[in-house]
Amino acid sequence: MIILFGVFVRYNEESDTHWVDYRKENNITSDIENDYYFRYPSFQDVHVMIFVGFGFLMTFLKRYSFGAVGFNFLVAAFGIQWALLMQGWFHSLDYTDGKIKIGIENLINADFCVAGCLIAYGAVLGKVSPVQLLVMTLFGVTLFAVEEYIILNVLHAKDAGGSMVIHTFGAYYGLSISWVLYRPNLDKSKHLNGSVYHSDVFAMIGTLFLWMFWPSFNSAIADHGDGQHRAAINTYLALASTVLTTVAMSSLFEKTGKLDMVHIQNSTLAGGVAVGTAAEFMLSPYGSLIVGFFCGIISTLGYIYFSPFLEEKLKIQDTCGIHNLHAMPGVIGGIVGAISAAAATNTVYGDLGLENTFDFTGPFAKRVPTIQGGYQAAGLCVALCFGIGGGIFVGLVLKLPIWGDPADENCFDDEIYWEVPEDEESVPPILAYNNHMIPNKHCTISKQSSHMPLISPLWEVSM
Amino acid sequence: MIILFGVFVRYNEESDTHWVDYRKENNITSDIENDYYFRYPSFQDVHVMIFVGFGFLMTFLKRYSFGAVGFNFLVAAFGIQWALLMQGWFHSLDYTDGKIKIGIENLINADFCVAGCLIAYGAVLGKVSPVQLLVMTLFGVTLFAVEEYIILNVLHAKDAGGSMVIHTFGAYYGLSISWVLYRPNLDKSKHLNGSVYHSDVFAMIGTLFLWMFWPSFNSAIADHGDGQHRAAINTYLALASTVLTTVAMSSLFEKTGKLDMVHIQNSTLAGGVAVGTAAEFMLSPYGSLIVGFFCGIISTLGYIYFSPFLEEKLKIQDTCGIHNLHAMPGVIGGIVGAISAAAATNTVYGDLGLENTFDFTGPFAKRVPTIQGGYQAAGLCVALCFGIGGGIFVGLVLKLPIWGDPADENCFDDEIYWEVPEDEESVPPILAYNNHMIPNKHCTISKQSSHMPLISPLWEVSM
Amino acid sequence: MIILFGVFVRYNEESDTHWVDYRKENNITSDIENDYYFRYPSFQDVHVMIFVGFGFLMTFLKRYSFGAVGFNFLVAAFGIQWALLMQGWFHSLDYTDGKIKIGIENLINADFCVAGCLIAYGAVLGKVSPVQLLVMTLFGVTLFAVEEYIILNVLHAKDAGGSMVIHTFGAYYGLSISWVLYRPNLDKSKHLNGSVYHSDVFAMIGTLFLWMFWPSFNSAIADHGDGQHRAAINTYLALASTVLTTVAMSSLFEKTGKLDMVHIQNSTLAGGVAVGTAAEFMLSPYGSLIVGFFCGIISTLGYIYFSPFLEEKLKIQDTCGIHNLHAMPGVIGGIVGAISAAAATNTVYGDLGLENTFDFTGPFAKRVPTIQGGYQAAGLCVALCFGIGGGIFVGLVLKLPIWGDPADENCFDDEIYWEVPEDEESVPPILAYNNHMIPNKHCTISKQSSHMPLISPLWEVSM
């Protein structure tokens, strides 16, 4: 990796010391017009989403918090380096000297690329080894870079918030892998495939940071000025609307009328996914609300009805429910983007505005909105194909018995990959020999039993 | 809501694709002068305060963390949509076409408006149903928009950080509601009205994000340039000073000399509240320190002496102690604002600076600082009246027996509104009838043993 | 403190109402060129690192989370006020009127200064009283300001990210204090010197916020434009690289092949420390990767081999392992900075770029890169001397028996300084002598009792 960076990667003109010369040559009046100041706040928000948002969102499992946040950290850190190279070759290659020139926008794009892989991680959470995750990321980033190049550069589709490029691709990539790696006996670790009170609160940290910073996600690489401004507003509205319908649906469709934390943690984010592609278009505020409204419904119903169906009938085990949070909303986002692009008019956008928003310049100067809508739809298909096809291929690679994946009964358990502190509370406080030791259904055999061979049986008051 | 947005809400000229034309017409040299870049970083910080700050601050209760963070999420997401409409009608209505034109400043203001309602939530935390919260928010936002219009537009008072508009109003609104909804038998759920070790750490997440981002809160809608700069500095200093006096007071006035987490979680923030109104004035660094200094004292003493008095004598049950964190510091903030406005001079501010800071332009061109001070004081009275009057009215509405509020013995308990995971650790691990209690090496003697000297040996299932 | 601020501290021309005049006089075209907009987003990120990052990083101890996050809060809030004064006298004194003029850069520098003291806190975590911490901070800030003045102003060394000024100084300051305060009988509280599952997850919040915002830390006070841009890129890359080597090392060198949370929480950050000085130089992307690569190795091996050695042979008890996270990487950072400064050429930097980056202006106009490298190295030595010398002196002061430090058996325990909630779970659930099941007052009836009707009475090990 270092060698590849040594050969290929350099600073671009805005992050190089020659900026001071570049400024003079291009009549840039102030340092503040460096792209850094346009994008850095959004970049940091996206960075938080990748590492804290995705990481903590997955801590909801009772004994897989280390794996959730730790492997997320590992995968993301590996992925952004590889993404800088792969995306660099496709997007930022300076043909005059064959070098990749990087600036703040490349860092954001690398984070975006990794987001696709982390979405995929959600489907296989707790069921794969860290090595498998790295392999998944290696291929995932590569596929992502190619897919992104086809969608954004060849088809010239717009996808500021990545509904297609990131979410649709990432989700179907993960679901396909999970389908190939189907474990019929996953029931053996069923007792660990659930949350405890505190782990649900930890997961809310992830949810909220994703939710709050999603406007930055969708606006991070949008056009300077009105583009970023509009993307933030649209995302803010779509997300607000999703929360309301999610809560309503969760309460209506649960038998007890109570709210389910799974929905609050996940479905509330669906609006941000679905408004991604169209975020910088003139979707209009009520358009954003409508998108968010329907996504809250679809995503919550997905958790209630569709996830069990996926698992039982289609043999897709989807730990975090990414089908409901990323796949369906991503596809909806692609469709919304295609429709709103096709419906764009000079009256609404203004002549200059239309050209600006869709970049109808250079080789694409003659394209009109209706045609653009078609290319947007084509982009969605490309994302789907790459996701499903790539996922099946990588799934087969991961099925090779060389990656050290956990046994069925060790899934969702940190113990096999982490030094887990011997919580005092995981040791039974009282050990009685005589008579009547009555295990209850929640008790599991303590892993510490080997330390105290004389005393048995031992039940864990698991944390 | 969607229909109202469809009829009324549009992008403003800085978030519309016509920005590119607008720029040319107004000789704006760079995209970076779009208001988005002046305010977006502050907006995101405020957003974090609303959703993570307020949400996690209230997770301190041992079994009400889902409700704290989840209902906060629901209320805020609902409130910002309603606030965009209500504030829009009062502040951002374009009279030429009858539309509300929104931009980044509207999003910040909507977050501010919701902050008022979340403050009120603090007083009734654990004692109301989600439906009651939504009703509270519906009325709260409406009252807020009217009150804000009177204070900022009619009286032309300045209130960048909302000491009066947000904190005073919100706190008295919540306290009045809590007074009307007084529960004489709340003792029945007393065992749940307290914290456990980890819930206090979760609450510190809320405290710290509120504390850290408060400079953004107070500077978010301040004047471009020196106004935002100064507001951030003043708030930073006031908050730092409050922490010291809070710690000192907490240690001095507790019988054991130990620190109380309740004070650290709440009183440390009082300085930010109190410096809100005057944050963009030339309060001077030591002025900020003085404000913070006294608020730390008052707020901490409020928790120790005034809260029990409120509950016993005035029949106001204030779960989070918002009287000490928002009400008293808010009133102080209003007074500090009035005094520092009245004391403003041309020597300190400069001729242009004075005009700029207080917006002595248009119909208010002839106003002088002393008169401004009077109007500031009038603003504080308006906030108080709206808070108390509105709170009593809404409290009576919420007293109708149709909102599904929890019984006295179910207060502070997530079980009635949430699917709570059946924690394994909440199940007794071992049930021994006969003799033979064998300690194991991980067990330590309980620190509580001194409380129960008759019973031994005691082993701790330490946390 | 208030008096000192009253006498000395004023707003600078960018945060004063006279900004509007200043702008006109200096032909500044837009409010957006106020330094506030260049630095505010980075400032807020740094602020998060100081309060949430450092605070939560230290919550890993099972019963010292209140102390970690609470005393961190106290120390930082005290330190930034004192730092504004001390650094002000050395850096921001306006000689025309003898006042310190503060703006956003001073706030960042105050946060930086406090970072040095918080690093030192890591070495003595759990072993000192809050009063000792305040004394440590008082002296630490003072030493820091002098050391910083010598390194940055007298020697004119560059240190944007503070590898030398902050990390080397802070770490050796803390280690020296810990050496003087060596406790031979610390074993008595050994059972509390470790983590539990949830406390490790809390610590990951700290780790991740430090990791994510480190690019802001290193770029916060770098040069406008390309300087900040480049510093962010270099730090991003170095940190990403460190994560990979840390994980690899942790897995390779642990006997069981499992990952250790201590390494993930700490060593992953070493790259950010080490790239601090050189972050704004033309270190080049692969240079950053190399620095991160080696720091991950060194830091992780430090935890495995060097920390036990330090404790046993050198009698330095280093609770958080700051020697591995800050001391060694800090020194490496200083060396990397010296080498890369000495190796700077006009070809790589450009004539103007070289002058800009190293500020070869005014009295230093004639300095060349090789000489600059020497001064960088001299700066590192100054940081080391101040850290070790100052630490020994302050350690001796703290050894006076007047500061109320905890007894050996009370180390790492919140109980002595905090009102700790009496967690239900810290009480033995069942007390059985002879058939006599005696409930104690903290026990509540389990909600699960209905599941096991045969077994009663049941007490809940709640939580």
pLDDT digits (tens, 9 = 90+) for B167-196: 999 999 999 999 999 988 888 888 888 888
ipTM of the complex: 0.87
pLDDT confidence of residue C380: 95
Is the pLDDT score of B236 beyond 60? yes
Identify all chain C residues contacting B357, using CB atoms and an 8 Å cutoff.
Answer: 17
Nearest chain C Cα distance for residue A424, angstroms? 8
Exposure pattern of C146-169 as b/e (b: 16+ CB <10 Å)?
ebbbbbbeebbbbbbbbbbbbbbb
What is the average pLDDT across C75-100? 89
Taken as a whole, chain B contains a residue count of: 463
> How far, CA to CA in Å, does B121 sit from each of A213, B59, B174, C130?
24, 13, 6, 34
Nearest residue on chain B to A230, alpha-carbon basis = B15
Closest residue in chain B to residue A353, using alpha carbons only: B17
Interval B61-83: pLDDT, tens: 988 999 999 999 999 999 999 99
Q: How many beta carbons lie within 10 A of that of residue B434, not counting itself?
A: 12
- HSE value, Cβ hemisphere, 13 Å, CA-based, for B291: 36
Which pLDDT does position A132 carry in this prediction?
A: 92
List, in order, residues 6 or more apart from B394 with CB less than 8 Å away. Answer: B135, B136, B139, B140, B173, B176, B177
Please give the backbone phi and psi of residue C452, each rounded to the nearest 5 degrees, phi first.
Answer: -130, 65
Query: pLDDT per residue over A97-138, tens digit each?
Result: 888 889 999 999 999 999 999 999 999 998 999 999 999 999
Higher local confidence (pLDDT), A385 or C361:
A385
Residues of B in contact with C409 (CB under 8 A): none
Is-contact B173 B135, C-beta < 8 A? no
C450 or C147, higher pLDDT: C147
Tokens at A197, concatenated: 């009170």
Contact A230 B11 (CB under 8 A): yes
Higher pLDDT, C382 or C187: C382
Contact (CB<8Å) C6/B434: no
Contact A375, A157 (CB under 8 A): yes
CA distance C327 to C170: 8
Contact list in A for residue B463 (CB cut-off 8 A) is 424-425
Place of tokens 């005034």: B306
User: Measured between beta carbons, which residues in chain B are less than 8 angstroms from residue A212?
Assistant: 44, 47-48, 51-52
Nearest Cβ partner of B52 from A212, A352, A436? A212
Which among C107, C202, C446 has CB closest to B427? C446
Average pLDDT over residues B197-205: 91
The one-character DSSP state at A406 is P
Residue-wise DSSP of C34-80: SHHHHHHHHHHHHHHIIIIIHHHHGGGSTT-HHHHHHHHHHHHHHHH
- With CB atoms and an 8 Å threshold, state whether A197 touches B437: no
% pLDDT > 90, chain A? 53
Distance CA C218, CA A370 (A): 47
Q: Given this model, what pLDDT does residue B367 score?
A: 87
Cis (ω within 30 of 0) for the bond into A428? no
Residue C433 has pLDDT above 60, yes or no: no
Integer Cα distance of A260 and B441 in angstroms: 39
Strand C93-94 and strand C99-102: pairing? antiparallel
How many whole angstroms separate alpha carbon A109 and alpha carbon A95? 20
Neighbouring residues of C373: CB distance < 8 A, sequence distance ≥ 6: C338, C339, C341, C342, C343
What is the band of A193 on the pLDDT scale with cuts at 50, 70, 90?
A: confident
**What's the average model confidence in pLDDT over A50-61?**
93
Rounded to whole angstroms, the Cα distance separating B107 from B220 reads 11
Contact A11, A100 (CB under 8 A): no
- Selected for mutation to probe chain C from A1, A8, A20, A64 (highest C CB count within 10 Å) is A20
Chain A positions in Cβ-Cβ contact with residue C224 (cut-off 8 Å): 31-32, 34
Give the helix/strand (H/E) hosting B10.
strand B9-11
Interface contact flag, A233 B103, Cβ < 8 Å = yes
For residue B459, list its beta bridge partners: B445
CB contacts of A194 in chain B (<8 Å) are: 421
Model pLDDT for residues B293-343, shown as the tens digit of each residue: 999 999 999 999 988 888 888 888 888 999 999 999 999 999 999 999 999
Q: How far apart, in Å, are the Cα atoms of B139 and each of B77, B118, B218, B330?
A: 15, 13, 25, 21
Rounded distance between C-alpha atoms, residue B30 and residue A362, angstroms: 23
Amino acid of residue B404: G
Q: Does residue B3 carry a pLDDT above 70?
A: yes
**pLDDT, tens only, C101-110:** 899 999 999 9
Contacts A–C by Cβ distance under 8 A: 214
Is the pLDDT at B427 greater than 80? The verdict is: no
B419 vs A201: CB contact, 8 Å cut-off? no
Asked if pLDDT for residue C434 goes beyond 70, the answer is no
Q: How far apart are CA C447 and CA C462, in angstroms?
A: 10
Token representation of residue B398: 């919420």
CB B6: neighbour CB atoms within 10 A? 14
pLDDT at residue C435 greater than cutoff 70: no
Distance of CA A137 to the CA centre of its chain: 12
Distance from CA of A463 to the nearest CA of C (A): 8
Give the pLDDT confidence score for residue A423 in this predicted structure: 66
The verdict on a CB contact (< 8 Å) between A259 and B52 is no
State which amino acid sits at residue B37.
Y
CA of B420: which chain A residue's CA is closest?
A: A197
Would the pLDDT of A459 be above 80? no
Task: Give dist(CA A208, CA B68) in Å, integer.
Answer: 13
Q: Examine the pLDDT at B107 and tell me if it is beyond 70.
A: yes
Which residues in chain C touch residue A420, judged by CB atoms under 8 angstroms apart?
Answer: 197
Residue A230 has phi, psi (to 5 degrees) of: -70, -40
Judged against a pLDDT cut of 50, whether residue B399 lies above it is answered with yes
Q: How many CB atoms lie within 10 A of CB A295?
A: 33
Cβ A226–B20 below 8 Å, yes or no? yes
Distance from CA of B300 to the nearest CA of A (A): 28
Which positions in chain C touch B52 (Cβ < 8 Å)?
none
Q: Name the 3-class secondary structure at C340.
A: helix
User: What ranges in A92-225 are assigned the alpha helix state H?
Assistant: 104-124, 130-148, 169-180, 197-219
For residue B427, which residues of chain A lie inside 8 Å, CB to CB? 440, 442-443
Q: What burial letters (b/e) apply to C431-450, b meaning 16+ CB within 10 Å?
A: bbeeeeeeebebbeebbbbe
* C224–A31 CB contact, under 8 Å: yes
Across the interface, whether the CB atoms of B44 and A442 are under 8 A apart is answered: no
- Report DSSP state, residue A422: -
Helix pair C285-301, C226-253: axis angle to 10 deg? 40
Pairing of strands C9-11, C99-102: parallel
C137/C124 Cα distance (integer angstroms) = 13
Q: Which of B65, B427, B434 sits opposite A201 (nearest CB)?
A: B65
- Give the B:C interface size as CB pairs under 8 Å: 279
Q: Measured between CA atoms, how close is C432 to chain A, in angstroms?
A: 9
Evaluate whether B51 touches B75 at the Cβ level (below 8 Å).
Answer: no
* Cα separation, A97 vs A17, whole angstroms: 18
Which chains are adjacent to chain B, needing at least 3 Cβ pairs under 8 Å? A, C
Neighboring chain B residues of A435 at a CB cutoff of 8 Å:
432-434
Chain A hits for B438, Cβ within 8 Å: 430-433, 455
Q: Do C104 and B357 touch (CB under 8 A)?
A: no
Of C237, C279, C214, C238, give the one whose Cα is nearest residue C53. Answer: C214
Specify whether the CB–CB gap between A431 and B440 falls below 8 A: yes
Nearest-CA distance B78 → chain A (Å):
7
Residue-level pLDDT at C424: 52
Interchain proximity A5–C286, CB inside 8 Å = yes
- Judged by CB atoms closer than 8 Å, whether chains meet at B444 and A424 is answered as yes
Alpha carbons C335 and B10: distance in angstroms, whole number: 56
From chain B, the residues in CB contact with C74 under 8 A are 243-244, 247
Q: Which residue of C has its CA nearest to B449?
A: C427
Q: Is the pLDDT of residue B429 over 60?
A: no
**Strand B93-94 to C9-11 pairing:** unpaired
Q: Are A215 and A237 in contact (CB under 8 A)?
A: no
pLDDT category at A45 given cuts 50, 70, 90 is: very high
Q: Which of C213, C350, C430 sits opposite A18 (nearest CB)?
A: C350
pLDDT for position A439: 35
Closest by alpha carbon to A170, among A203, A129, A146, A141?
Answer: A141
- Answer whether C264 sits within 8 Å of A70, measured CB to CB: yes
Q: Which residue of B has its CA nearest to A350?
A: B18
CA–CA distance, A109 with A12 (Å, rounded to integer): 15
What is the rounded average pLDDT of the residues C336-354?
89
- Residues of B within 8 A of C78 (CB-CB) are 240, 243-244
Smallest CA–CA distance, residue C410 to chain B, in Å, is 12
Confidence bin at A443 (pLDDT 50/70/90)? very low
| Neighboring chain A residues of C211 at a CB cutoff of 8 Å | 51, 73
pLDDT digits (tens, 9 = 90+) for B237-260: 999 999 999 999 998 888 788 898
Asked if C41 and A40 count as a contact pair (C-beta separation under 8 A), the reply is yes
Mean pLDDT of chain C: 85
Does the structure show a pLDDT above 90 at C171? yes
% pLDDT > 90, chain B: 53
* Contact predicate B327/B340, CB 8 Å: no
Mutate to test the interface with C, among B28, B210, B233 (most CBs of C within 10 A): B233
Q: How far apart are CA C276 and CA C337, in angstroms?
A: 8
CA distances A133 to A184, A206, A327, A360, Å, are 21, 20, 20, 39
Where residue B443 falls among pLDDT bands split at 50, 70, 90? very low
Q: Which of A30, A418, A421 sits opposite C33 (nearest CB)?
A: A30
Q: Residue B281: how many CA atoms within 13 Å on its side-chain side?
A: 30
Of the pLDDT bands very low, low, confident and very high (cuts 50, 70, 90), residue C441 is very low
- How far apart CA A316 and CA A319 sit, in angstroms, is 9
More confident site: C435 or B358: B358
* pLDDT, mean of residues C364-381: 91
Mutation choice for A interface testing from B45, B113, B201, B424 by most A CBs within 10 A: B424
Provide mean pLDDT across the span B430-449: 33
**What are the structural domains, with CATH classification, of chain B?**
2-416 (1.10.3430.10)
Which residue is it, tokens 């450009």? C350
Of A350, A437, A442, the CB nearest to B18: A350
Q: What is the mean pLDDT of residues C42-46?
A: 93
Specify the amino acid at residue C328.
M
Question: Is the model's pLDDT at C97 over the cut of 80?
Answer: yes
Mean pLDDT of C152-180: 93
Q: Is C238 helix (H, G, I), strand (E, B) or coil?
A: helix
Please list, residue by residue across B341-365, b when 16 or more beta carbons sit within 10 angstroms of its beta carbon and e when fewer do: bbebeeeebbebbbbbbbebeeeee
- B438 with A433: Cβ contact below 8 A: yes
Percent of all residues in chain C with a pLDDT value above 70, rounded to a whole number: 91
What subunits touch chain C, counting only 3 or more CB pairs under 8 A?
A, B
B118 burial via Cβ count (<10 Å: 0-12, 13-18, 19+): buried
Locate the chain B residue with the closest alpha carbon to A43: B41
Distances from the Cα of C202 to the Cαs of B203, B204, C44, in angstroms?
12, 11, 21
Name chain C contacts of B256, Cβ cutoff 8 Å: 419
